[in-house]
Structure 1
Amino acid sequence: MNIVDKNIEYYRKRAGMTRKDLAEGICDESTLFRIEKGSQNPRLDLLFEISKKLKIPLKFLMSELPFSDFKEIEKYKQLCREHTYYQDYEALSLTIEQFENLIEQNSDHVEYLTNKKFITWNKAILLHVRDKNLIKAEEQLHSILDTKLRTEFDIGVCNSLGLVKLSKDGVSIALEYFNKAYAAIEELPQLEDHTLTPRVAYNVAYCHVKNGQFNEATTLAYQIIGLLESKQLSFILGKTKHMLGKIHKMCGEYEQAKEYLLEAQFLFRLEKNEAYYLKTEEDLNEVRLLLEK
Structure 2
Amino acid sequence: MSEHIGSRIYELRSYYGIGQKELAEGICTQGNISHIEKGNQLPNSDILFQIAKKLGVGVQYFFEDYEAPRNNYIEDTCEMIRHYLHKHEYERAYSIINTELKNPLFRRADLKKFLLWQKSVCHFHLFSKEEAIDLLEVAIDIKIGHSRALSMLDIELFTSSAIMLTDLGQYKQATLKYNTAIKKFKKHPHSNYGNIKIPIRILYNSSINFYRDNDFINSYERANQGIKLCLENDSLYLLGELYYQAGISSFKTGGKDYLSLIESSLWLLKKKESSHVEYINEKYNYYKSLDPQVNSIEV
TM-score by length of 2: 0.61
Q: 1:117 aligns with which of 101, 113, 116?
A: 113
Q: Is the 8 A contact 1:265 1:281 kept in 2?
A: yes
Q: Is the 8 A contact 1:64 1:110 kept in 2?
A: no
Corresponding residue for residue 35 of structure 1: none
Residues 45-60 of structure 1 mapped to structure 2, 5 A cutoff: none
What are the ranges of 5 or more consecutive residues in structure 2 without an aligned counterpart? 1-65, 143-147, 294-299
Corresponding residue for residue 128 of structure 2: 133
1:210-256 per-residue CA deviation (whole Å, 9 max, x = no partner) reads 455444433332221222233332222122111111012213346x2
Q: Which stretch has the larger CA shift, 212-221 or 176-185?
A: 212-221
Q: Is the 8 A contact 2:216 2:252 kept in 1?
A: no
Identity, in percent, stands at 15
Corresponding residue for residue 205 of structure 1: 207
Corresponding residue for residue 262 of structure 1: 263
| Matches of 2:236 and 2:127, distance apart in 1 | 29
- Structure 1 residue 231 corresponds to structure 2 residue 228: no
Q: Give the paired residue count.
A: 221
Aligned AA (1:268): L
CA change 1:194–1:74 in 2 (3 A) is farther
CA change 1:67–1:124 in 2 (3 A) is closer
| Matches of 2:160 and 2:88, distance apart in 1 | 15
Corresponding residue for residue 45 of structure 1: none
Residues 16-55 of structure 1 mapped to structure 2, 5 A cutoff: none
CA change 1:238–1:190 in 2 (3 A) is same
| Matches of 2:270 and 2:98, distance apart in 1 | 33
Q: Flag as ranges the 4+ runs of structure 1 deviating above 6 A.
A: none
Deviation of 1:282 (Å)? 3.0
1:48-73 per-residue CA deviation (whole Å, 9 max, x = no partner) reads xxxxxxxxxxxxxx743355345535
Corresponding residue for residue 27 of structure 1: none
Corresponding residue for residue 89 of structure 1: 88
Partner SS, residue 227 of structure 2: helix
What are the ranges of 5 or more consecutive residues in structure 1 without an aligned counterpart? 1-61
Partner SS, residue 141 of structure 2: coil
Q: Is the 8 A contact 2:243 2:264 kept in 1?
A: yes
Aligned AA (2:184): A
TM-score by length of 1: 0.63
| Matches of 1:289 and 1:132, distance apart in 2 | 42
| Matches of 1:99 and 1:230, distance apart in 2 | 37
Corresponding residue for residue 62 of structure 2: none
Corresponding residue for residue 286 of structure 1: 286
| Matches of 1:114 and 1:248, distance apart in 2 | 40
Corresponding residue for residue 107 of structure 1: 104
Root-mean-square deviation (CA, aligned residues, Å) is: 3.2
Q: Is the 8 A contact 1:182 1:197 kept in 2?
A: yes
Partner SS, residue 187 of structure 2: coil
Aligned AA (1:175): T
Deviation of 1:169 (Å)? 4.6
Q: 2:138 aligns with which of 140, 143, 152?
A: 143
- Structure 1 residue 155 corresponds to structure 2 residue 155: yes
Aligned AA (1:139): D
Deviation of 1:287 (Å)? 0.6
Deviation of 1:135 (Å)? 1.5
1:10-34 per-residue CA deviation (whole Å, 9 max, x = no partner) reads xxxxxxxxxxxxxxxxxxxxxxxxx
Name whichever structure is richer in helix by fraction. 1
Structure whose alpha-carbon radius of gyration is higher: 2
Corresponding residue for residue 180 of structure 1: 180
